[in-house]
Structure 1
């Protein structure tokens, strides 16, 4: 059976209809600090809540202490964000799928950091109502995504020998450089499409 985890951060939340499509009951749910509030709005019950709890009210923290939810409290002075500490932990649990919710919006510095964490930890995706963000590790195959809009953004100075097959705008052995917008808003035109490259760091944004 496939295992799945959701991680709530403290970015911008989604509409109720979006959360209803997610299977929280058969998944493990985690929260980082103020993500606990987002989790409650989504109607989910977290397994663990991590953080220094500077984004949680006294009454909310009291409710957490009185519950069966596992709490991990950290000092405000630390070398990583609450979100990264939790993402590192959940990533080590070997779930088949890990989705970060409320990871975008809010403070820009946190948003950019959350996106960069996709390259540091394995099998992490940022999911919103309209988009799915993940890093591509040399090769990825899209199945049954015909007519979906997909963008590729370089997160290194160069992405070498990049190929796109099954897309409206294919590429062959392309050198994608930082700041290059060549791979924005491509369209899948077949039942199976692939992206592959030799070296570099590549972010995929699937408009879902």
Structure 2
């Protein structure tokens, strides 16, 4: 089973804000067999006519009608006590990560409480194949020798999540860099533009997140 999932993408719906545009979901080509939801994210899945494979949570954000519909469709439901060490989202992300999916796309990870949003963003450094999506942007971990293909003319920003990112080099961008030290809080790498079909990012030390515009 693990082998069959190696190049398959998973989707996780959390309980944050969801894009309102139907085309956003159509473009994702979500397969319900690889859709997992945390608590209230399941309600959004049902509203979009997706029947998820599994739903995890303490179910403080899911109404009884939605829960009954999930049960009637034989959805796997894993219930947790509200008094736990991890959020519903992280428990689910940890589980899905163990299934060896190629990429895990998370929708509904932003919006609502700022503490949840910041916690979700930091999960990128714990589960490196996470990609957070909303209607306008894609947020992902950037590692040394990182390549971005087929996004020419797209806007992108790079944000430092450590004290500094050392020897940052950007090739294939409107504003290139060579062995630059990017400090936490610097705005140097906001709103760059990809100018080549293949663009590269390299650095020797630090934690870096990329935010790619989808419009």
Segments of 5+ residues of structure 2 without an aligned counterpart are: none
Residue 43 (structure 2) aligns with? 37
Question: Where does structure 1 lack aligned partners over 5 or more consecutive residues?
Answer: none
Query: 1:70 corresponds to which residue?
Result: 76
Indicate if the aligned counterparts of 1:38 and 1:102 stay in contact, CA closer than 8 A: no
Shift of residue 4, structure 1, vs aligned partner: 1.1
Number of residue-to-residue matches in the alignment: 208
Query: For 2:28, what is the secondary structure of its paired residue?
Result: coil
Query: Following the alignment from structure 1 to structure 2, what is the Cα–Cα distance between the partners of residues 4 and 106?
Result: 26
Q: Does 1:162 align with 2:151?
A: no
Please name the residue that 1:13 is paired with. 18
Aligned-pair CA distance for 1:60 = 2.1
Taking a change above 3 Å as real, the CA distance of residues 26 and 67 of structure 1, as seen in their structure-2 partners, is closer
Runs of 4+ more than 6 Å apart: none
Residue in 2 that maps onto 1:147: 153
Please give the root-mean-square deviation of Cα atoms over the aligned residues, in Å.
Answer: 1.3
The two structures have a TM-score, normalised by structure 2, of 0.93
CA distance in 2, matches of 1:25, 1:75: 29
**Helix, strand or coil at the partner of 2:59:** coil
Taking structure 1 as the reference length, the TM-score comes to 0.96
SS state at 2:112 partner: coil
User: What is the deviation of 1:27?
Assistant: 5.4
Shift of 1:102: 1.0
Deviating more after overlay: 81-90 vs 34-43: 34-43
